Structures are given as structure tokens and as C-alpha cells.
Structure 1
Amino acid sequence: ALAGALDIIAEKWSEDASVREWMVEKGTKFGQITSAVKRGKKDEADKYEAYLDRAESASRIPGHRLLAMLRGEAEGILRVGLKMEEDRAISHVQSTFIRNRSFEFARELESAAEDCFQRLLQPATQSTVLQMLKEKADEEAIDVFGKNLHELLMSAPAGPRVTIGIDPGFRTGCKVAVVDGTGKFLANTTIYPTPPKSDTAGASKQLLALIQKHNVELIAIGNGTASRETDTFVGGLIRENRLDVTKVMVSESGASIYSASELAGKEFPDLDVTVRGAISIARRLQDPLAELVKTDPKSIGVGQYQHDVNQTQLRKCLDRTVESCVNHVGVDLNMASVPLLSRVAGIGPKLAENIVQYRDTNGRFGSRKELTKVPKLGKKAFEQAAGFLRIRGGDEPLDNSAVHPESYTLVSRMAKQLHADVKTLVGNSTLSQKLQPDSFVDDRFGIPTIRDIIAELGKPGRDPRSEFKVAQFDDSVQSMEDLREGMVLEGVITNVTHFGAFIDLGVHQDGLIHVSQLANQFVSDPSEVVSVGDVVKVKVLEIDLDRKRIAVSKKALG
């Protein structure tokens, strides 16, 4: 009876809101997050080596380390918990509820307080604290993913040039696809310059024929299996034949997922999945934004624990990031695909399909105004979308700018004041700089809007993305075995995290620039120093072949 009564008391005490709040506060401030390997799992725990017996302050544990611990627990390798100052916690429960220590059952009540903490409060506090820290870590990881995705989507486009895309391989050969300046598929073949066939002569003949027939200017090579061997072969072909062609290594993350998707099936119903992948690689080089919007952002390879964080929040963040990039760059109405158009403000997947269908039936759009003829595209959708859509070589010169149709009358007033026509004003920065914003202010247009319009008139339709630049990989370095400590190599930043940045050096395994090696001064946020897509030089510090890890430094190299 006494034991039953004490159980009831312990449960009642554990439900006290003020005590629970105190426990969570102390657990968060002074507790330690611990991780240990589960019994019998040590042989499977190689990738969690740093977390097999670890304790970190709950108030200071970095989000990426907590997520790593929790992933290890989800995989059944680790046991994650919260360690608190047990004596202090039990003492707090006792002092809160036991008013009279000389009471006949005081000792039993003290024992109940101990039971209350160990059996009820500690597990509840652990669950709450871990959940709070997990939510914070999720926010940080999602923020990192959003920044990386933004930088990747805003990567410099190589532009509308005829491009060959190569999806490298060994046994099955390298799939080759040619696309024209608009991304339209022209031809494909398979070459075998890599082992086991190593038919470099036949491959050279086939590739050279495609280059000459289609006047190819760019060759995009996927950075997966056999990429460096293929890159070396293509480089030799260019040098031997003195071709005016630029080769570029392109990330193929997510290309296989796109090529097997329903969207790719509709776009290229008669082509093999591997050929679709080569086409995607070519188009990624021409315009990363236009091609990558076709792929689930989680598959692009720039996230940090993207499968472990809150998926609803992640999806919202990524959708917002993609739409922001698309609207910032603008979309060519006569070339854009359904996935790209669907990301424009005011246009969803269904309207995007209607626009493309209208374009296929009636030919290219001559003006933005023609959009109103698209089925189910109403006035509201037009007002939202028109400013983000571009028409090159159309009837209205302002249609190839960020100036919204609602402001066309304002531009006409500006041109009239300068005694010029709109066509002369658009793209003439010398002329547009003569305009005085104050003289155009009225009930509809304020100073900020007018200044934005004047700036746009000077450089209409200007692509805000940076200039296209190619990383020069060292031809003598093909794999990790070729790396040596002290080597200085050029590479491309592929991912930025809170603990540093990953860089593609062309050896099939990204190197890590730890946050402490990013600059000669202290760096709190790696994204302030480097961004996805940056071409940088680094020094090799350490090569671990067994664990496939490469440590590099950007210090003193700029």
C-alpha cells in the first residue's frame, strides 16, 4: 500500500508544470548531450567513430554534431541521451514538495522524489531538451541548405552555345548527347575511351565528328564514375586537334533521378535513361537554373543532413529559394520549360502547362500582353507574373526587361521628357541617367520604384548571375592516390556547412576545408567566405585513403 501511494505521489509531482519547466531550463543550460555505441554495434560504427563515447554541453553543442548523433541513433548504432546534475535535480524536487522533513514519512517521500526524477522527470526532460535542440539544429541545417541551393541555382551560366554532355562510365561506356544553344536535343552516341575497352581511337573519331558537324563550343563532363579518365581523354582530343572547345566538369548530382522521372519521360519518350542524363549534364552547363528546377532540390547534393530535418519546413524553404532565384533572374517566355515557368510568381504547374501548350500551338509569344490569351491565365496571375517574364526580340522593347507592363506608361513619359522614343531609351544608360526621379512621382509611383525602373532602363534584361568561369583541374591528379601533402590545387566548392566547405578536386572524393582553414582570420560562418560554385585554390594537408578523407586548406592562398 505504501509503495503504491508513493508511486501515485511521484507521478503527481512529475506532472507539476513549474518543476518540469525548471528541469528543462537546467537541462538546457547545464546538461550534457551524450552518445555511446550500443552493445554489439562497435564493428558497424566506423562512420560514427567520433561519437562512440562523447559528451557535449547542451547549451553549446553545434547543430550538425547533434544531427550526426541522432542519425546514428536512428540507424541503431548509437544511444543518445541527456546527462543532468542528478543530486541537484532530486534536491529541487524534495525542497519543492516536502515541507516538513520531520514528518513521519519524510524518508519515504525523499525516496519518492528520487524515483520521480529517475523514472519520470529525467526521461521527460531528456525528450523535451533533445526535441528543442533538434528543432534548432533543423532550422540551422535548413538555412544552410537554402543558402547553398541559392548559390548553386545562381551559378554562372555558360550561355546559349552548342554543348556536348558526357555521362562517363567504364564498362557501359560514356553516353554522349549534343544540344543546341536553346538546349534542344540534336544527336547522341556512346563512346568507350575508358577501361576495359579503352577504344580511344574510335572514341576520338566519333566525338570529333560530332564536334565538327554541330559546331560544338562546350563539352560538359559529369563528375561521377570515370569522370577524370574521360576528362583526360577529352583534354587530349582538344589539344591534339587544336579545337576551340572548352571542357568543363559538371556536378551530376540528381541527374540520374531527373532522367528516370516522369518529366524526363515526357520530354524524351524515345531516349534511353542514360542519354537523358547526358542531355541534363549539357543543359546544366548552359543554364544551371533552368535545368536544376526540374530536379528535387534534396537530390542536388548541397544539403546538410537534409533527410534528417523537418521535411515540411525544408520543402517550404527550398520552394521559396527556387522561386526567389527564378524571379530574380527572369524567365524567357519563349524558351522556358513547364518546371521553370511553374516557379514564376503567380504561375503554378497547370498554368505553366497551358502557356507551353499555347506556345506550341500558336508559335512564339510576340509580347507579354499575348499572355492574357492563354486559357485560365487571368488578370491577377498576369499582374503577378508579367514582370518576371522576358521576351527577346518581341514587339515591345520593354518586354525584355524587369519593367512591369503597368509601368510602361511611366517609361513613355520619361522618353517624352527626353524628346526620344521608348526604343531609343531602353538600353541607353547615358540617356536614362539624365532622368530626374522626383519629376515623375505621382499617386501610383514613388521614388524607390522610379529609381528601380531608371536603373533597369540602363541595363534591361541584364542577367544578375556572375560571369562564367571554369576550374582548371591538374591533369596529373586523377585519383586520391595521386594526391600528396603540400600540393596546391584548383577546385570547385560543392557544399558549404557550419563546420567548413567541401571542394571537388577532380578525384571522385570531395576534400574538406575545415572552418579553421578557410581564412587567415577567424571565421564564424563559412558561407561568408565561400559559396557553392566558387572556383578556389587550396593546399592539401592530409590524405586518409582508408576512410576516403581529404583535408585541405585555403589559408594564405586567397
Structure 2
Amino acid sequence: MQLLNFIKSQTNLPSKGIENTIELLNEDCTIPFISRYRKERTGNLDEVQIGSIVTYKAQFEELEKRKKAILKALEEQEVLTSELKQKIEAITDLRVLEDIYLPYKKKRKTKAETARKNGLEPLAKMIMSQRVNDLEYTASKYITNEVETEEAALEAARFIIAEWINERTDIRNNIRYQLEKFATINTKVVKAKKEDEKAQKFRDYFEWSESLNRCPSHRFLAILRAEKEGFIRVKIEIDNERALDKMEDRIICSNNACSQQLKLAIKDAYKRLLFPALSNEILNSSKEKADEGAIKVFAKNLQQLLLGAPLGEKNILAIDPGFRTGCKVVCLNAQGGLEYNETIYPHAPKNDSIGAMKKINSLVNAYKIEAIAIGNGTASRETEQLIRKMRFNKDVAVFVVSEAGASIYSASKIARDEFPNYDVTVRGSVSIGRRLADPLAELVKIDAKSIGVGQYQHDVDQAKLKNSLDTVVESCVNSVGVNINTASVSLLSYVSGIGPKLAENIVKYRDENGAFTSRNEIKKVPRLGNKAYEQGAGFLRIKNAKNPLDDSAVHPESYSVISKMAKDEKCSVSDLIGNKAVLQKIALEKYTSATVGLPTLKDIISELEKPGLDPRESAKVFTFNQNIRTITDLHEGQLLPGIVNNITNFGCFVDIGIKESGLVHVSNLADKFVSDVSEIVSLHQQVIVRVLEVDVARKRIQLSMKNIK
């Protein structure tokens, strides 16, 4: 099967769109660039559709690579026939391919191999034929020094038969079917670990059984984690008698001594070879599906987090709260630069709240602070209450900001390179302040797994997780666009076509030559060639450039089209920008060409109406219930304001202003059935919740969003 047909069979996308997308990918074009600037060639495919083409292209290439390896192995064994070659070349499923190859696969020393060396294969063939009348007499002919009795000869023959049965594709597929449809996953607690404190979070699975194909991804991953940590044992089970009966129906066609030997061989093949291998296969397959589900949730959450509302370019005072070690305070300018840092001690044991308030007040005045960002960790509520008691000479908005991953950033090489003369506490405070100004620009510096918006992210396939999260970050960065004159190396590295090395070169050029004044100047960056410029230019913004289009999502390759539009309208390009009345009247068909079609022209008009518009909402102030400070302040029936801080397949977690987040189970999300949690809530959404249940001992809070007006 050809690549095009394979992808089409998996996606149902139009052939021309797939074909052209593959060409563009082979030309080293990125997904954001293709989806934004090559709509004519792809037939207007979006990022998700192009991403699926990338995925299936990789699957096909992996399959073809494995086929070549198998064909080569079969040639070396001199067993490759033209019929077998055609059969292998037509396969589109890796599992089917491995089943076909199984009989030819070089095996380690097995019982069957030993039996063959002892000359028992002819006896095995006779038993399989089921035509031998006096089996004991026939078996006695195979007695040797190595095979001392008739029973030993029959047992050795059965080992060979068991291997043949194991290699039969129809048998394997039938057991697979039974595992996929009827398997149960069963758990038992390890008695010695039952009272272990760490085991208690898994106590729901101390004695658990359910249909494997109905086990949701989060529960399956939780069970596997509990097993990995040694608290439970996991077994996959099906009806063994039913499976054996199905196998006998396919193999036995007589009622003699041979059939009795075959029954024993079938049982051996099932218990020793087939079930262990195929139950592991279904377990691995279920793990892959669970991983896929968890990764999708994480990716969706990460996208919402990265596209969270920015406050924008403001002078910010950021506080990383603490008790004994004090609150680390930094003042940042509108570009996120560090202007000042100090530690204040408003809480126990020093309790210098008066001194702290005076210092905050003086800093707000001295650095013209417009907003205050407070980390949501230890002493957050106490610090927030202190700040909200203060009266400033002007309006100063107060925000509580998630600290998730801030400590990872503060100890990272990125942070050390940015602030070599400051310790981790100052860097952490800077990160909190910058997150308020622009979540995307700051969070790209942190390993996405450390941001805390996934489920079981450390248990899933790490390569697949990284690939998925990198794709999300790349998509978010390019959908927003990047100011090339203020962006960090981390942010620039996610721009289409740029990457880490060119990002470093851009920043180095900027440091040595000053701010970029035009997109054309980007070509002067060392090692940034035409391809990288083509891929990245449309996503890089230059504020106050001579050409106003340099601060827009219009690609430089389309500048001439806009100049022609302006000329036809008898105005300048600057006059055209933002002039909705004129733009809406332009007859776009007039400007189409072999490379520029209506999809691109419509994008251009849309961009010219609001050039460089940030697609994200603006940050909004939020206040928790000031009477709720710890879990013991909660009681059933309370209505509380909260912020969604994590979304899973089974519900969402809501920050209600205390250390422990509460869970709104999927069944308590809405007054209707909910199949997808993300359809009801989004990350950082401000919600009102009702307290359903509080388990102080286990530090668990059950919340509801049902019947709340």
C-alpha cells in the first residue's frame, strides 16, 4: 500500500490535500506554517488534520521499515517466496505483520526446538494429522537415549504442536477477540503493604474487578501505578474453558488417541504461550489507549493554560509568599525586567506586618506599580489578605497566580542564564510576576510536565507525551505571534522554523545590534537561511516598524498583494490597515493568482482589520471567600467562588483558596449528562461551587456545580 492510500484510509481526508501536505512536510515545512500560509495547496486543512497526516505518515514509515527488516531476515533464511513477499507488502497493520513473521522468527532455546533436535517433528505431524491408529506403538519408534519412553516422545511432540498452535494467526486472533471483548482486570492488595500509609491513596483498588474495555484511562493508569509501587497485584482474566473450547473446535476433527494428545497440546499452548503473550499484548494495548487519553487531556489543558489571559505590558510587583523565610518581593517593569527585589516578613514568626505594608506601599509608588501578583503557595491567603487591606494612591489590581513549576524554572539553566546574580527565590518571584503579564511567554520556559495540569503524566509514554506537548506549545506560540525584540530564547525556539540554535542567534544578534527594525533585517541573523525565514517570518512581530505589516500575521510574501490593493484603493498601506469599510468592499477575486487564492486573501483581510490582535482574553481580578482559610473551615452546602485549576476525564479540580483543591466529579458538573468535561469548563475559568463532602483525614473535598444559578 502506498503512503497516500494508507493515510486516506485512516483519515478520509481528500487525496490532493494529503498529497500536497506530504510534499510540504518533505520540504521541512512546519504544521503552523502549512495550516496558516499554504491553505490553497492543502485544501484549507487545519492544524489538527495536518497533525493527523504527520502521525499516520510516521506510522506508515515505521511499518515500512519493519517490513524491510523482516523481508531481509526471510531472504537470509532462504524462506522468502514471491507469495509470502506479496502478502507482507500488502499488510497495513504492525500486529498482523508480526503474526506473519512469528513462525520464521529466530527463537531462543525452547522445548519445541529441543524436541525437533531429538527427531520428534515427524511424530508431531502424524498426531496433527489425527490418522494414527496405534499411537503408543508409533511413539515407541522414537525412543532414543534422549527420549527414553513413549510418554516422553509424546510430550516432546506436544511441545512442537503447541508451538505450531501458538503461531496460527486464526487462533491468535480468536483469543485476541475474546480478550478485547470479555477480559476483566482484577486486583488484589499485597497483604504486607495493606497498612502502608502511601498505599492508602490506592485503597479503592485493594480488591477491584471490572471489564478491561470499560476501565477508563485514569483508573487504568492509577491501577498500574499502584502495581508499580508494589501495593497491589494485577491480573487479566477471561473464561479459560471457553477459550480452550474455541481452540479445540478449530483443531480437533477426530475422536481417537491423537485427539487426546491434541487436547493436552492445546491446553499447554494456551497456558504457556498464547495467554501470557496475548494478555500482555492487550495490557500494553490498553496502556497505549490510556496513555493516549491522558495525553489528550494534558494537551488540551496545556493549550488552555498557555492561552490564558495576559495582563499585558504593565509594571508588576510580584510576591512569592512564605512564613519563616519571609515573602520574596520583586518589581518588574512593563517588559518584565527586574528593577528591584527585597524580602519582607509580615507573617509568623516575625509578624512585621506594619513594616511590610510600608515597604509595599513605597515600592508601589517608586516603581509606578499597576498590578500585584501573589503566588498561590504557602502563606498565599495571608499575604493576599494583607495586601487587600492596604489603600494605595491609585488603582492597583491584585491577582493570585499559580506557582506550579515556578521552583523548576528558578533552578533551571534558563533561569540561571537570565539572572546569574540572583538566587532561586528571586527568580521564582520574577516567574510569578511574568506569568501574570504573559502566561505563554513565561510558561514555555518550564517543562510542561511540571506545570501540574495533567493526569498521571509521569506514567504515560514519555516520548509521546513530549511530542504532543511540544506540538501544543508550538501551536500556541505561533497562533499568538512573538515580539522578536522582547522574546526570550525559550519563546523564540518554538516559532515555526526557528528552533533553539537559531533562537540563540536571534537574541545574540539583538543584543549586539539593538532592536530589529524590520522583518527583512531578520535575514541578517547568522545561519538563518531562506527556509527558516519563510517558515518563521509571519509569526514574528516587530512593534513600531517602518512597514506596519511587520507587526501583523501577514506573511512578507503577501506584502506585494496588499500594496496592489492599496494602490487600487488610492491610499497607502497604513491607511488600509484597520479601515474595515474599505477592506470589506475589496473584490478579492481580482487578486487571486496561481499561488494566492481566496483562503489566503480572506485571512489577509481579516488580519488587516485588526493587525497583530492578541487572540487571548484580558486577565480578570478574582477574589476567594476570605472566611475560608483551611479545609476545616468548610462544611456541606457552602457556596464558594473558585478557579478551575485542572481538568481530567473524570471531572475538574477547583481552587477555592486553600491548600487542597476540591473535585467536581463529572456527574456533578451540570444538570445533564456530560461526556466531555472540557465542554463544560475550561482551565482558569471562574466558577461557583457547592461543597458536597469534606474528608479532613484524607484531605479530600467533593464539590458540585449542579443547580447553581
**TM value normalised by structure 2:** 0.76
Contact 1:332 1:391 in 2 (8 A): yes
Q: Kindly report which structure 2 residues correspond to 1:438-453, keeping only aligned pairs within 5 A, or say none.
A: 438-453=589-604
Hey, what's the Cα distance between the residues in 1 that align with 2:587 and 2:629? 59
1:217 aligned residue: 370
* 1:480 matched to 2:638: no
> In the TM superposition, what is the alpha-carbon distance from 1:241 to its structure 2 partner?
4.3
Selected match of 2:514 from 338, 363, 367: 363
What SS class does the counterpart of residue 165 from structure 2 fall into? helix
> In the TM superposition, what is the alpha-carbon distance from 1:319 to its structure 2 partner?
0.6
1:373 aligned residue: 524
Q: Kindly report which structure 2 residues correspond to 1:247-396, keeping only aligned pairs within 5 A, or say none.
A: 247-396=398-547
1:533 aligned residue: 684
Q: Letter of the aligned partner of 2:316 in structure 1?
A: T
1:200 aligned residue: 353
2:195 aligned residue: 43
* 1:59 matched to 2:213: yes
1:32 aligned residue: 184
1:19 aligned residue: 171
> In the TM superposition, what is the alpha-carbon distance from 1:514 to its structure 2 partner?
0.8
1:149 aligned residue: 302
Deviations 1:21-73 (Å, cap 9, x if unpaired)? Answer: 21111011011111221231111221111111111112211111111111111
Q: Letter of the aligned partner of 1:16 in structure 2?
A: R
Q: Kindly report which structure 2 residues correspond to 1:178-189, keeping only aligned pairs within 5 A, or say none.
A: 178-189=331-342
> In the TM superposition, what is the alpha-carbon distance from 1:114 to its structure 2 partner?
2.9
> In the TM superposition, what is the alpha-carbon distance from 1:105 to its structure 2 partner?
5.3
Hey, what's the Cα distance between the residues in 2 that align with 1:6 and 1:408? 77
Selected match of 1:139 from 257, 267, 292: 292
Hey, what's the Cα distance between the residues in 1 that align with 2:251 and 2:586? 77
* 1:543 matched to 2:694: yes
Deviations 1:352-405 (Å, cap 9, x if unpaired)? Answer: 111111111111111111111111111111111110011111111111111111
Hey, what's the Cα distance between the residues in 2 that align with 1:522 and 1:491? 22
* 1:460 matched to 2:611: yes
Hey, what's the Cα distance between the residues in 2 that align with 1:43 and 1:118? 34
Selected match of 1:519 from 661, 667, 670: 670
Contact 1:470 1:535 in 2 (8 A): no
Query: Which stretches in structure 1 are left out of the alignment for 5+ residues?
Result: none
2:43 aligned residue: none
Q: Letter of the aligned partner of 1:320 in structure 2?
A: T
Q: Greater shift after overlay, 116-125 or 208-217? A: 116-125
2:15 aligned residue: none
Q: Letter of the aligned partner of 2:640 in structure 1?
A: L
* 1:191 matched to 2:344: yes
Tell me which of the two structures has the higher relative contact order, counting C-alpha pairs closer than 8 angstroms and 6 or more residues apart. 1
* Alignment root-mean-square deviation, CA: 1.5
Deviations 1:302-326 (Å, cap 9, x if unpaired)? Answer: 1111111111111111111001000
> In the TM superposition, what is the alpha-carbon distance from 1:243 to its structure 2 partner?
4.9
2:582 aligned residue: 431
Hey, what's the Cα distance between the residues in 1 that align with 2:283 and 2:268? 22
> In the TM superposition, what is the alpha-carbon distance from 1:91 to its structure 2 partner?
1.4
Contact 1:81 1:126 in 2 (8 A): no
Q: Greater shift after overlay, 12-21 or 457-466? A: 12-21
Contact 1:372 1:382 in 2 (8 A): yes
> In the TM superposition, what is the alpha-carbon distance from 1:121 to its structure 2 partner?
2.4
2:68 aligned residue: none
Selected match of 1:69 from 207, 223, 234: 223
Hey, what's the Cα distance between the residues in 2 that align with 1:217 and 1:170? 26
> In the TM superposition, what is the alpha-carbon distance from 1:225 to its structure 2 partner?
1.4
> In the TM superposition, what is the alpha-carbon distance from 1:436 to its structure 2 partner?
1.9
Q: Letter of the aligned partner of 1:25 in structure 2?
A: Y
What SS class does the counterpart of residue 361 from structure 2 fall into? helix
What SS class does the counterpart of residue 433 from structure 1 fall into? helix
Q: Letter of the aligned partner of 1:22 in structure 2?
A: N
> In the TM superposition, what is the alpha-carbon distance from 1:20 to its structure 2 partner?
1.8
Hey, what's the Cα distance between the residues in 1 that align with 2:189 and 2:656? 34
Hey, what's the Cα distance between the residues in 2 that align with 1:325 and 1:150? 7
What SS class does the counterpart of residue 554 from structure 2 fall into? coil
Q: Greater shift after overlay, 435-444 or 136-145? A: 435-444
Hey, what's the Cα distance between the residues in 2 that align with 1:263 and 1:272? 13
Deviations 1:159-182 (Å, cap 9, x if unpaired)? Answer: 111111111111111111111110
Hey, what's the Cα distance between the residues in 1 that align with 2:170 and 2:258? 24
> In the TM superposition, what is the alpha-carbon distance from 1:8 to its structure 2 partner?
4.3
What SS class does the counterpart of residue 213 from structure 2 fall into? coil
Hey, what's the Cα distance between the residues in 2 that align with 1:440 and 1:233? 61
Q: Kindly report which structure 2 residues correspond to 1:398-437, keeping only aligned pairs within 5 A, or say none.
A: 398-437=549-588
Hey, what's the Cα distance between the residues in 2 that align with 1:137 and 1:248? 36
Give the number of the structure whose residues are more often helix, by fraction. 2
What SS class does the counterpart of residue 209 from structure 1 fall into? helix
> In the TM superposition, what is the alpha-carbon distance from 1:492 to its structure 2 partner?
1.3
Hey, what's the Cα distance between the residues in 2 that align with 1:352 and 1:296? 18
> In the TM superposition, what is the alpha-carbon distance from 1:3 to its structure 2 partner?
4.2
Q: Letter of the aligned partner of 1:134 in structure 2?
A: K
> In the TM superposition, what is the alpha-carbon distance from 1:333 to its structure 2 partner?
1.1
Hey, what's the Cα distance between the residues in 1 that align with 2:465 and 2:599? 33
Contact 1:355 1:374 in 2 (8 A): yes
Q: Letter of the aligned partner of 2:269 in structure 1?
A: C
1:166 aligned residue: 319
> In the TM superposition, what is the alpha-carbon distance from 1:11 to its structure 2 partner?
4.0
Higher alpha-carbon Rg: 2
Contact 1:490 1:505 in 2 (8 A): yes
Q: Letter of the aligned partner of 1:18 in structure 2?
A: D
1:120 aligned residue: 273
Contact 1:220 1:247 in 2 (8 A): yes
What SS class does the counterpart of residue 93 from structure 1 fall into? helix
Q: Letter of the aligned partner of 1:307 in structure 2?
A: H
Hey, what's the Cα distance between the residues in 2 that align with 1:39 and 1:15? 39
Q: Greater shift after overlay, 90-99 or 532-541? A: 90-99
> In the TM superposition, what is the alpha-carbon distance from 1:298 to its structure 2 partner?
0.6
Hey, what's the Cα distance between the residues in 2 that align with 1:283 and 1:506? 21
Q: Percent identity?
A: 51
Q: Letter of the aligned partner of 2:187 in structure 1?
A: S
Q: Letter of the aligned partner of 1:557 in structure 2?
A: I
Q: Letter of the aligned partner of 1:24 in structure 2?
A: R
What SS class does the counterpart of residue 227 from structure 2 fall into? helix
1:85 aligned residue: 239
**TM value normalised by structure 1:** 0.97
Hey, what's the Cα distance between the residues in 1 that align with 2:595 and 2:156? 76
Deviations 1:453-497 (Å, cap 9, x if unpaired)? Answer: 111111001000123223221111111111121111111111111
Deviations 1:69-120 (Å, cap 9, x if unpaired)? Answer: 111111111211211011101212223333222x125445434433332333
> In the TM superposition, what is the alpha-carbon distance from 1:424 to its structure 2 partner?
1.1
Hey, what's the Cα distance between the residues in 2 that align with 1:538 and 1:431? 48
What SS class does the counterpart of residue 493 from structure 1 fall into? strand
Selected match of 1:176 from 316, 329, 351: 329
What SS class does the counterpart of residue 187 from structure 2 fall into? strand
